[in-house]
Structure 1
Amino acid sequence: MTDVVLTGNARGRASRARLLEAAAGCFGERGYAATRIADITAAAGMSQAGFYRHFPDKDAILLEALQVPLEALLAATGPLTEGSSVDHEKIVARNTEFFRVYAEHRQVLRVLRELAAMHEPGLDAVWLDVRRGYVERIERWLRRLQKHGVLQTSDVKVLADALGGVLDQLAYTRLALATKPPTEKEILALGRVSGEIWSRTLGG
């Protein structure tokens, strides 16, 4: 009896994973509005009844498809907020990691960014919450720099938002809107240039 249950659970997890992968691809290729549940199930090789065993609607599968990339983006900014100094190479390394994670999930992240810009109910808050998470990390780091006399600024909150905006905008315009996946050279260039902007702004 136990073996049957485990097999069923494993099969269910595999089906759910196929649907999530198919959804991410469909949303990225077609956009949110043009993607139908029928498109997702066709790409996953499953029936619509199978879809509804796992997800109640299109919003639910989009949010779950976004969970891993959004958590990875937030994690990519974490170590940067440690310490109380401006280390140019560390900044470049963390920014490069941000762009690398974004590039890996660029299609589905583009969809969320565009839905947020359109103020799609319930979905705009998702992007804003994640962005707020890493901007607040940057802000805490800037306040430590300020406390140790490393940074002088008239408004820490606005500066944190501006530095986060450098990453946001470059990721969206250079990665999300690109017609083909970025090369490693392009990702490294984004990390290097954004790091230069941050370091010069912070006086490092």
Structure 2
Amino acid sequence: MQIKSSRRSNRERSDTTRAAILDAAHGLFVERGYAETSTPDIVTAAGMTRGALYHHFEDKRALFRAVAEREASAVAAKIEEATLEELTPREALIIGARAFFDAMAEPGRIRILLLDGPAVLGTRTMAAIDGTNAQRTLEDGLAEAMAPRIYDQAALTATATLLSAAFDRAALEIAEGAPTELYIEAISRLIDGLISA
């Protein structure tokens, strides 16, 4: 019985250490960017040893990927949370768009997911991360909104990819001071065009 308790305790300690490293890295990646953040800076900020960092992450790039995955997951969770109630497929897409823009307004998210992410991890890796998070919710929403038409999966994915790129560009513009409502209206017109096509 005590062995199980000890194992659980070790697992909890490991999870706590990993979370502390991720939190410290996130803060520094947001503040300084990937290139200007060193692993000694991260372990100092986390109050950990370099050994602890390398026990959990192969290198700085792997740590950055884990930070990006956590941020992408948080964005998808905000979209899903905003669209839980009974909505028409169109309403869910528009409300999901607003939730995406709100989630991307979180300090540092643009830098991690849209600026440093593609530069550090490459566009294919970032697309894969997005594909299991926000783009997945977008693809599901488009499929529902375009039903009952039979839609080829490859074409649906390509459409979601293009629309996702529009969302990302709009998030960048909003971060630079453009009015969110302007982009909600523009995205709504795009979605309406896709639904009625």
Provide closer, same or farther for how the CA distance between residues 165 and 126 of structure 1 changes in structure 2, counting only shifts above 3 A.
same
- Structure 2 unaligned spans of 5+: none
| Higher RCO structure (Cα 8 Å, ≥6 apart) | 1
Q: Determine the structure 2 residue equivalent to 1:165.
A: 165
CA contact (8 A) 1:41 1:47 kept: yes
CA contact (8 A) 2:75 2:100 kept: yes
For 1:199 and 1:138, the matched residues in 2 are separated by 10
CA-based RMSD of the aligned residues comes to 3.6
Q: Determine the structure 1 residue equivalent to 2:51.
A: 49
For 2:156 and 2:58, the matched residues in 1 are separated by 42
- Describe the SS at the equivalent of 2:62: helix
So what's the TM-score if we normalise by structure 2? Answer: 0.69
Q: Note if 1:197 corresponds to 2:156.
A: no
Amino acid aligned to 1:193 = E
Distance apart, 1:201 and its partner CA: 3.5
Q: Determine the structure 2 residue equivalent to 1:110.
A: 111
Could you list the per-position Cα deviations for residues 91-130 of structure 1 after superposition, in whole angstroms to 9, with x for gaps in the alignment? Answer: 33111111233233x5145234224554x4x443221224
Distance apart, 1:26 and its partner CA: 0.8
Distance apart, 1:162 and its partner CA: 4.2
Provide closer, same or farther for how the CA distance between residues 200 and 9 of structure 1 changes in structure 2, counting only shifts above 3 A.
closer
CA contact (8 A) 2:146 2:195 kept: no
For 1:9 and 1:193, the matched residues in 2 are separated by 47
For 1:79 and 1:124, the matched residues in 2 are separated by 28
Could you list the per-position Cα deviations for residues 149-176 of structure 1 after superposition, in whole angstroms to 9, with x for gaps in the alignment? Answer: xxxxxx977754443233111212323x
Distance apart, 1:202 and its partner CA: 4.5
- Structure 1 unaligned spans of 5+: 149-154, 179-185
Amino acid aligned to 1:42 = T
CA contact (8 A) 2:24 2:45 kept: yes
Q: Determine the structure 2 residue equivalent to 1:152.
A: none
Q: Determine the structure 2 residue equivalent to 1:11.
A: 13
Amino acid aligned to 1:114 = L
